[in-house]
Structure 1
Amino acid sequence: MGTKIAGKLLFIGEFCLSLTAVGLFWSTSSGHFREKLWEYGGVKGWNSNPNHRVYSYANYEEPPEIPLIWSPSLTDATLAVALLSIIFLVARITVEYFGQMSRTFSLIYGTFLIFFWFHSIESQASGDFSDPKHSSRHPWYLTRHCQRDIATACRVAQASFIISVLASLLYSERLIATALEAIKAYRTTPGSGYQPVSVDLNLMDGEDWASQEDN
């Protein structure tokens, strides 16, 4: 009974976490927050300045590649991970409802989500080295307080990173718990693995001698 209640609470927590992540990443995408944070940090000298790319175009030069931390592709990728988490959750609930849930499916499910969320965390914490004079190992909003004139974009970005960390911890904990349950079930299942067998050598010698006499 307690296990079922804990499982339902875990589903509710996972759903709320995924829904919050979708809301935050959607806000980042629709509000172009990442571009605003990049420009604000560039003006302050905390990272490369996107406005300086205009000079490259004016001089017919190839501008530096947009750092991953400020690229629209990262915004789209993080939103996709959040949506994928909800899709996987619905699939998990459906399989659980029909009684077809297995540890193998749970392990695969958890492994995929952990991979995507950890990659999302790594990308969200990546640096900007496109301008050697204003390089940064991590985005400024993770190492500095939010300024009043860009508070909304800054706080949404911070909350998105925190939600990503919480999601990674949740899926990691569940994957470890499922793996331990699988190991325990394997060890306690009769007939699993090798079983010690006692052999009476005297009896075997007697049987060999009897078979030789019959021949």
Structure 2
Amino acid sequence: MNLKETWANRTYRPFLRQWPKPARKGTAWLMVFELMGLIPILVIFGIAQPNLYRTDLWKIGYENKLNSNPNMILYAYANHKPLPQVPLVWSRTLTDFNVAISVISLFLLLVKLITFIMKGWLPLIALVINIAMTALYTVSVYGQIGPDYADPRYPAPAAWYFRYGCDMAKEWGVYKSCQIAQSSLGITFYMLMIYLLNLGFAAWAMWPNKELNDGDDDDDNDSLYGYDAKPVEMQNMKNEPLVSATPFTPRTQAFHTLNRQLPLRAQRAP
């Protein structure tokens, strides 16, 4: 048996695989919940750019000896020292990164919706994309939690507003901004869970299964969410003959009687 015959007789087909019906339904419903999380995350990450509250919260933490000094870079320049590495939670990189992944998520959701309706959302494509998005949102969650060990005097395993709340931000006038920073982590974690569930469904579809390898594609008989489409039989409708009735009046009866008694009209009749 040559290589071509071996490939044709293979039992596991990773490319054109079918979705299990529960996984297909779950993926369809998760798109609704993904959109519900994507709208607020676009708003929150959008208003946080470029620096709505990042530096203010960093200063508040330093004044309360809860994290590093936001002026560390200026001190390094003034003292001709190597530039320190800014913690990810206080960096512009994290802010831009969050905006980027939110826009990418919106684009992928639109692509997934179109290809899912056209039955082109293959499990292999879903597996690769969900692995990538899970990794991106994991980095975002880690960055927002904010371990800050730049200053050995004030090590911070997490941002101060996650450990102590936002009460300290009231006297600085950034209480609402602090709440936005807290909510951004919550909605990011929500999106991470959505992509983990999508990843689970894609992995289930890619798991070796003889029914998914050899089964016929019954999607043509199924709706978007996997329900069987039942044909509707049209019943023949019997057309009843219309009975036309001539209005009956005494004058009409007299006219017909006179018409039958006219000799000339009777002769002309064929």
Q: TM-score, normalised by structure 2?
A: 0.64
RMSD, matched Cα: 2.5
The question of 1:60 aligning with 2:83 is answered no
Secondary structure of 2:153's match?
Answer: helix
The question of 1:188 aligning with 2:211 is answered yes
Post-superposition shift, 1:58? Answer: 3.0
The question of 1:131 aligning with 2:154 is answered no
Aligned to 1:175: 199
Aligned to 1:28: 48
Q: How does 1:198-209 map to 2 (within 5 A)?
A: none
Q: Which AA in structure 1 matches 2:181?
A: A
Q: Is the 8 A contact 2:30 2:198 kept in 1?
A: no
Aligned to 1:198: none
Q: Is the 8 A contact 1:125 1:139 kept in 2?
A: yes
Tell me, which stretches of 5 or more residues in structure 1 are unaligned?
A: 193-215
Does the C-alpha gap of structure 1 residues 54 and 3 become closer, same or farther in structure 2, counting only changes over 3 Å? closer
Q: Distance in 2 between matches of 1:34 and 1:52?
A: 15
The question of 1:152 aligning with 2:207 is answered no
Q: Which has the higher helix share?
A: 1
Post-superposition shift, 1:98? Answer: 2.3
Post-superposition shift, 1:183? Answer: 2.7
Q: Which AA in structure 2 matches 1:98?
A: M
Can you list the C-alpha shifts for 1:2-54, whole angstroms capped at 9, x where unaligned? 98876554222211211211111112114531111111111111111213544
Count the aligned residue pairs.
191
Post-superposition shift, 1:166? Answer: 0.8
Secondary structure of 2:45's match?
Answer: helix
Q: Distance in 2 between matches of 1:162 and 1:10?
A: 18
Q: Which AA in structure 1 matches 2:211?
A: T
Aligned to 1:196: none
Tell me, which stretches of 5 or more residues in structure 2 are unaligned?
A: 1-20, 216-270
Q: How does 1:88-103 map to 2 (within 5 A)?
A: 88-103=108-123
* Further displaced range: 111-120 or 172-181: 172-181
Does the C-alpha gap of structure 1 residues 58 and 39 become closer, same or farther in structure 2, counting only changes over 3 Å? same
Identity across the alignment (%): 23
Aligned to 1:164: 188
